[in-house]
């Protein structure tokens, strides 16, 4: 069986090297009440990943969505032990910026259009990310 590998690079903003299973939400996750912070399970009505947990995943998002309470639900998940290992945003926005400043988990942002992680990464891919260099290594069988 052939292992496919793709490498993309964004702007690394919070250092640290982590790897794990990818969870990709191409339409992001809504802020207020989008996740259960105790479990990390996505609760947003209509989200394609509703019922899946962000806990210990590499979370891939285009940016934030919805309420200005976006960051606090992720911050609460961190305090409850249900945070992702690392995350990346196609394009940084202010809510995603605050959430990253709160979470302090490895974070990569601002990818070129041709390297959009929301398009190139699929749920279940194994992803290694370096929050200092901004490099993302995607492996899939």
Q: Which stretch binds other proteins (CB under 8 A): 17-25, 52-60, 93-101, 133-141?
A: 93-101
Q: Which residue has the tokens 């305090």?
A: 79
Of the candidate residues 77, 127, 129, 138, the single one contacting other proteins (CB under 8 A): 77
Of the candidate residues 10, 24, 25, 34, the single one contacting other proteins (CB under 8 A): 34
Asked about 67 being catalytic, the answer comes back as: yes
Q: Show contacts with other proteins in window 98-127 (CB under 8 A).
A: 98-102, 104, 107, 109-110
Q: Which stretch binds other proteins (CB under 8 A): 1-9, 17-25, 58-66, 132-140?
A: 58-66
Estimate to the nearest angstrom the gap between the alpha carbon of 34 and the chain centroid: 14
Q: DSSP secondary structure string, 11-68?
A: EEEE--EEEEEEEE-TT---STTSB-TTT-BB--TT-TTTT-B-TTSEEEESS--S-T
Q: Which stretch binds other proteins (CB under 8 A): 16-24, 89-97, 119-127, 133-141?
A: 89-97
Q: Which residue has the tokens 């982590």?
A: 18
> What distance in Å separates the CA atoms of residue 8 and residue 29, rounded to the nearest whole number?
23
Q: Is 48 in the site for other proteins (CB under 8 A)?
A: no
Q: Identify which of 127, 87, 129, 126 has the alpha carbon closest to the alpha carbon of residue 104.
A: 87
| Residue ranges in contact with other proteins by CB under 8 A | 11, 13-14, 28, 30-34, 37-38, 43-46, 62-73, 75-77, 79-80, 90-95, 97-102, 104, 107, 109-110
């Amino acid at each position: 069986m052939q292992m496919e590998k793709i490498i993309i690079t964004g702007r690394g903003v919070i250092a640290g090297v982590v790897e794990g299973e990818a969870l990709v939400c191409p339409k992001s996750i809504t802020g207020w009440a989008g996740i259960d912070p105790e479990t990390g399970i996505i609760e947003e009505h209509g989200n394609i990943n509703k019922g899946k947990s962000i806990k210990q995943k590499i979370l891939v998002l285009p940016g934030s969505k919805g309420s200005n309470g976006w960051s606090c639900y992720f911050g609460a998940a961190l305090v409850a032990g249900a945070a992702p290992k690392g995350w990346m945003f196609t394009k940084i926005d202010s809510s995603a910026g605050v959430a990253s400043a709160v979470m302090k988990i490895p974070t990569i942002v601002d990818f070129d259009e041709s390297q959009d992680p929301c398009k190139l990464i699929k749920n279940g891919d194994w992803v290694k990310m370096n929050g200092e260099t901004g490099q993302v290594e995607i492996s899939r069988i």
